[in-house]
Amino acid sequence: DAKTTQPTSMDCAEGRAANLPCNHSTISGNEYVYWYRQIHSQGPQYIIHGLKNNETNEMASLIITEDRKSSTLILPHATLRDTAVYYCIVRAGSYNTDKLIFGTGTRLQVFP
Amino acid sequence: DAGITQSPRHKVTETGTPVTLRCHQTENHRYMYWYRQDPGHGLRLIHYSYGVKDTDKGEVSDGYSVSRSKTEDFLLTLESATSSQTSVYFCAISAGRLNTEAFFGQGTRLTVV
């Protein structure tokens, strides 16, 4: 499984865009990039995923570089409730090996 | 919310006793996972299952065993609990296709004294 590298922590002002980077330089062609977040000690929550095209949903946008070696999760208008740990995961697998391996994530603090 | 339930939600047990945690799903998803989470370590995969009676080890499987005798239940057993297994345990389910998300339970807080 490709490994990911994320900054340990980031700050963002409320109402501003939060841009969370992720490096996955060893990603291979069939591997998806997934983002999850974990608020306090709750179970992780799915945010978005993509293969090679940029993606957008009601929560966030995902920008994947053309070489797919890095990506950025964008929360367009961060709120205090977006304070959480954000995990970038590269997911691959065959029929029997769909492992989900988490890194240590980025702790995003949104301040007023 | 996805139909995934962990039980118990909290448990305190003594060192050396066996402990079983249960993950139950109503989504008929093929994949099920057990993770542990400790401060500063994020989520670490213990074991996962890709079908009934089909399981494999994750990153931190020593001291843990699992069983899946039916699609909806995935059991995690600590044969002889140790203090180092004090942690929060999360279960997750997935349809197993790469273009689908995984859903997580609310966690079980286990304390071994």
| Residue B24 pLDDT grade (very low, low, confident, very high; cuts 50, 70, 90) | very high
Q: What pLDDT is attached to residue A11?
A: 97
The one-character DSSP state at A100 is -
Q: Cα(A35)–Cα(B13) distance, rounded to whole angstroms?
A: 34
The yes-or-no verdict on residue B98 having pLDDT over 90 is no
Inter-chain contact A43–B48, Cβ cutoff 8 Å? no
Q: What is the mean pLDDT of residues B49-64?
A: 93
Under the banding of pLDDT at 50, 70 and 90, the label for residue B73 is very high
Contacts of B100 (CB under 8 A, 6+ apart): B94
Angle at alpha carbon of residue B107, lines to B105 and B112, rounded to 5°: 155
pLDDT of residue B32: 94
pLDDT, chain B, mean: 93
Q: How far is B108 from chain A (nearest CA, A)?
A: 10
Give residue ranges of A with CB < 8 Å to any B CB: 30, 32, 34, 38, 41-46, 49, 51, 85, 87, 91-93, 95-105
Q: Pick from A32, A43, A93: which is nearest to B104 by CB?
A: A43
Mean pLDDT to the nearest integer, B22-35: 95
- Among candidates B89, B97, B99, B113, which has minimal Cα distance to B23? B89
Q: Which residues of chain A have pLDDT under 70?
A: 1-2, 92-97
Tokens (6 digits) for B82: 């140790």
Q: Where are the beta strands (DSSP E) in chain A?
A: 9-13, 18-23, 32-38, 45-50, 55-56, 61-64, 70-75, 84-91, 106-111
Q: For the segment A3-25, what is each residue's pLDDT rounded down to a tens digit?
A: 899 999 999 999 999 999 999 99
The mean pLDDT of B16-28, rounded to a whole number, is 97
Among B48, B54, B90, whose Cβ lies nearest the Cβ of A43?
Answer: B90
Closest CA to A79 of A54, A62, A60: A60
Does the pLDDT of residue B16 top 70, yes or no? Answer: yes
Q: In this predicted structure, what is the pLDDT of residue A66?
A: 94
> Nearest-CA residue of chain A relative to B109?
A41
Could you say which of B42, B48, B103 has the minimum Cβ distance to residue A99? Answer: B48
Helix, strand or coil for residue B106? Answer: coil
